A = this chain, B = another copy of it.
Amino acid sequence: MLETISKHRSIRKFKPDAISDSILTEILEAGTRASNTGNMQLYSVVVTKDKEIREKLWETHFKQNMVLQAPVHITICADVNRFHKWCELNQAPVSYDNFFWFINATIDATLASQNICLEAENNGLGICILGTVLYNVDKIIEILELPKGVIPLTAIVLGYPDENPPLTDRLPLDAVVHYEKYKDYSPQAIEKLFFEKDNSEFYKNIVEENGLKNLSLVFTERRYPRASNIEKSEELLETLKKHGFFNHK
């Protein structure tokens, strides 16, 4: 397996060392080599080094230490704005201001994100993808001055690692792979596939720290409670409407 893929772990502690422009350019070029819809490259990459702006972004990412520590903060956005403007300039009709293209652009942006992560790691850097982007899309839009048709989806913090964590556990391959067609899970299958997770010391400690009965409850009651998920669903849909991806109702 590609060493860069097999050795990936998220880094949450960074040295203050700067990243050279030549390495950064190589990483960004790698992003653009990913497959994308119709070669339209429906994404934009915002590279933020300025400390003041990074502090504002840090606030939207729940003030996690590593977000301030990392010298470079990359926000990857679904972007139909650039393509729209090109079409406009050529008297071509507006075509991408709808939900279908939000999803296409999301896929483009995410494929590019993974190339960026791997190429960063290939250059000795550590990365962490911030899943917190989706909690504060509106604020990030404001901070980075994203126009209509541009939605932030993933953020990656980059820097030289100041820790060397172990690989993260994964479910057995059989849990995520289906052959020929999807084979739905019986309760027995779920029990078997999650056995290692349910019984690992690592997760047992987390369950205990949270004072809960099991690991599932850590996810559904502490980390991702239903009320917050519903609120965020509605906020996200509202933002997509305001920002030009629902002009079809």
Contact = CB atoms under 8 A, between A and B. Distances in A.
Interface of A: 1-2, 4-6, 8, 10, 25-26, 28-35, 37-41, 43-50, 53, 77, 79, 81-83, 85-87, 89-96, 98-101, 103-104, 106-107, 110-111, 113-115, 117-119, 122, 128-129, 131, 134, 143-147, 150, 153-154, 168-171, 173, 175-182, 184-185, 187, 190-191, 193-194, 213-217, 219-221, 223-226, 229-230, 232-234, 236-237, 248
Contact of A182 (B6, B150, B175, B194): B150
A153 B176 CA distance: 15
Nearest to A224: B95
B46 A33 contact: no
A226 B50 contact: no
Contacts of A107: 106, 110, 131, 153-154
A220 to B, nearest CB: 4
A175 B53 CA distance: 22
Nearest to A10: B35
B236 A86 contact: no
Contact of A190 (B48, B82, B179, B226): B82
- Copies of this chain present in the complex amount to 2
A190 B85 contact: yes
A65 B118 CA distance: 32
B224 A53 contact: no
A50 B180 CA distance: 6
Nearest to A110: B110
Given A45-B177, A119-B1, A248-B230, A6 B33 contact: yes
25 contacts: A1-B122, A5-B33, A29-B173, A35-B117, A38-B219, A38-B224, A39-B168, A41-B171, A41-B175, A44-B182, A46-B181, A48-B179, A49-B179, A49-B180, A82-B190, A85-B190, A90-B214, A95-B224, A100-B233, A106-B110, A110-B111, A114-B115, A144-B182, A229-B248, A233-B248
Nearest to A98: B233
A248 B228 CA distance: 11
A95 B225 contact: yes
Nearest to A28: B177
Given A32-B171, A33-B170, A81-B184, 6 more contacts: A1-B33, A28-B176, A95-B225, A100-B236, A110-B111, A143-B181
Contacts of A34: 5, 8, 114
